[in-house]
Amino acid sequence: MKVSNKSNQKYDPIRAAAVEAMILIEQGEQTDEAFLQVTKDMQLRPLDKRFMLQLINGATKMRRRLDHEIKFYLSRPSRELPIKLSNILRAGFYQLRFTDRIPNAAAVSESVNLAHYMTDRPRANLVNAVMRAAIREPAKVVFADRDKEPNKFLGDYYSFPDYFVKYALAEFGFDATEKLMQTFNSPPHVTYRVNFLKAKPDEVANLLQQHNIEFSYGRHLPEFIHIEQGGLPLQRELIDTGKVFVQDESAGLPVRLLNPRPKDNVLDIAAAPGGKSTYAAIRMRNRGRVTAIDKSRRRLKLIEENSNRLGIHIIAPVHADVEEFTGGKFDRVLMDPPCTGWGTAGKHSDLRWSKTIKDIESLSVIQGKMLRAAAKCVKPGGVLVYSTCTIIRQENDQVVEEFLLKHKDFEIDHSSQYYDESLTTERGFVKTYPALGHMDGAFCARLIRKNIP
């Protein structure tokens, strides 16, 4: 998307590109793709890139909160603003309310300049008036009573869609829901998974210490190292050399639950970009076979690239749909089907606006079909692990329980033999939540195919 310059007014191209990306995201584009589109012809300094991403992700996450606040300073708050104007105001209010290094005067002047550039003088004057009023009268903004209207309070204040607020309150209660939302709104950090084929955790830790990079080891998987700062530190030394792979610790849990061993014949379904496939291969000490199937040829190339960088040679990428796959029976099968991703809302700023309750319903049907197809690939006595990166019960427990009702040849293998009670449910499933540590929200279940004559 390109904007046309209607004025000779000076403007900040970094902020302009951020607003362009926000508009694309509101129109349905994913954040990463929107960022690439608006920056493809730009030469960005690292500092500019960080600021732009902060503005895009922050204003997108907090869209509902920002819109709520802006309306208190409009003469006609019920009137819908044009998309360019609304996103200029969102970006401006985000700088006023959620950044601490940008002076208020700079946030106002830059937003006004941007409005001159992207719209016209009357709208620029409106931006100026609204933002100055917001600085003068911050107390003018009010929120619903948290006790009387908890749904509206949480939705407006923490910026989440109504259906998710309703679900979370029913599932977790008010206090846990508020803590979950606070965590989702906090700046996300990355986790490095150490590649045992090329390095040891202590070696990576020592390098991080030498560069004064704070970190902590994974609580459940010690080869995962949580970086306590933004960005990708030591990318050349660690990521590019294949000594580490960027992966959340929660994404490693289902692989540990699968417990692949050297010489096993493993199937990974919906495998791209290969995070779980490569972790399985490393736990197998690069001995055996990992067949990684995916519907996307483009994404299968990512598995090849990641395998090559990590020094893995036992992964066989296969272009296939699990419902049509005829590759025989496997010792261990791992399936991570498409899901709403509601456990990763802290890292994907557009997710809370792009996913709907209809997506939950349609995806749960797809997940059930894929799980039934995956079951056909498991040998008698073999293991099937179902995992997602969502915290929605309909995509997790419900899918597995409905499967078990119709597949008496499978049973739950309780996860307590692999993880402590902080992760395991009474039923034997693994569940993680962002508010409980350095992990995304996730679910996984270990099923065994019975040896039935």
pLDDT per residue over 316-340, tens digit each? 999 999 999 999 999 999 999 999 9
> What confidence tier does 2 reach under pLDDT thresholds 50, 70, 90?
very low
* Annotated active-site residue in 339, 377, 389, 444: 389
Neighbouring residues of 428: CB distance < 8 A, sequence distance ≥ 6: 412, 413, 414, 415, 416, 445, 446
Give me the DSSP letters along 203-223: HHHHHHHHTT--EEE-SS-TT
Q: 347 — phi, psi (to 5°)?
A: -105, -15
Check residue 435 and give its pLDDT: 83
> What confidence tier does 164 reach under pLDDT thresholds 50, 70, 90?
very high
pLDDT at 142 over 90: yes
Average pLDDT over residues 209-227: 95
Q: How far apart are CA 30 and CA 348, in angstroms?
A: 9
Of the candidate CATH numbers 3.40.50.300, 3.90.110.10, 1.10.1670.10, 1.10.940.10, the domain formed by 13-140 belongs to 1.10.940.10
Q: How far apart are CA 355 and CA 351, in angstroms?
A: 6
Q: 76 — alpha (psi -120 to 50), left (phi > 0) or beta?
A: beta
Neighbouring residues of 315: CB distance < 8 A, sequence distance ≥ 6: 274, 277, 278, 281, 290, 291, 292, 303, 307
Q: Pick 78 or 245 by higher pLDDT.
A: 245
Check residue 440 and give its pLDDT: 97
> What confidence tier does 436 reach under pLDDT thresholds 50, 70, 90?
confident
- Where do the domains of the chain lie? 13-140, 150-184, 191-241, 249-449
Average pLDDT over residues 218-234: 93
pLDDT at 4 over 50: no
Tokens of 406: 């119709």
pLDDT at 8 over 70: no
Q: Where do we find the tokens 């690439």?
A: 36
Check residue 33 and give its pLDDT: 96
Bridge partners (DSSP) of residue 378 are 330
Check residue 194 and give its pLDDT: 98
Neighbouring residues of 87: CB distance < 8 A, sequence distance ≥ 6: 19, 22, 23, 26, 59
Q: How many residues does the chain have?
A: 453
Burial of 175 (0-12, 13-18, 19+ CB in 10 A): exposed
Closest by CA to 171, choosing from 335, 424, 396, is: 396
CATH code for the domain defined by 249-449: 3.40.50.150
Check residue 7 and give its pLDDT: 45
In what side-by-side order are the strands of the sheet with 224-227?
215-217, 224-227, 191-194, 244-246
Instruction: Share the mean pLDDT of the chain.
Output: 95
Cα–Cα distance list, 169 to 35, 149, 166, 262, 402 (Å): 33, 12, 5, 44, 24
Q: Where do we find the tokens 């050297």?
A: 262
Q: How far apart are CA 59 and CA 148, in angstroms?
A: 28
Eight-class DSSP state of 237: I
Residues of the chain with pLDDT > 90: what percent? Answer: 94
The lowest-confidence range among 3-17, 50-64, 348-362 is: 3-17
Cα–Cα distance list, 328 to 271, 277, 288, 375 (Å): 17, 18, 16, 11
| Total Cβ atoms within 10 A of residue 316 | 14
Average pLDDT over residues 112-120: 96
> What confidence tier does 5 reach under pLDDT thresholds 50, 70, 90?
very low
Is 377 marked active-site? no
Check residue 78 and give its pLDDT: 86
Closest by CA to 147, choosing from 166, 174, 124, is: 174
Q: Where do we find the tokens 């994974």?
A: 218
CATH superfamily of 191-241: Sun protein; domain 3 (3.30.70.1170)
